[in-house]
Amino acid sequence: NAMITSWSGAVLRTTHMTGTATDLGSALGRMLSRFFRRGCSLRNFSDQDWDEHTVDRQKFVLMNCLLYSFIAGGVVGAGAYGCMELHS
């Protein structure tokens, strides 16, 4: 799923939460892969590596915010239903 999205040039998958989880894992995998390819040292990063790392880090933060917001909405919704039942 992540490879097809990368090849097609899609920026984000937000149609369902599995797309968000896939994007999150894909960004984390790219950051870790880049780090290990450069000998586990940030000093070996080129300017292009830093640019790609910045984009992946921003995407990783965005995907985490979306995932935690989805979970928080479920918790709040369950709590509201528990208090108000049919009126929620």
**Residues 31/60, Cβ–Cβ less than 8 Å:** yes
Which bin fits 39, alpha (ψ -120 to 50), beta or left (φ > 0)? left
The pTM assigned to this predicted structure is 0.73
The pLDDT tens digits for 52-83 are 999 999 989 988 998 899 899 999 999 988 88
pLDDT band at 30 (very low <50, low <70, confident <90, very high): very high
Instruction: Report the pLDDT averaged over residues 37-62.
Output: 92
| Model confidence at 2: pLDDT above 80 | no
Higher pLDDT, 17 or 44: 44
d(CA 44, CA 49): 9
- Comparing CA positions, the residue from 25, 65, 24, 32 lying closest to residue 49 is 32
In this prediction, residue 66 carries a pLDDT of: 86
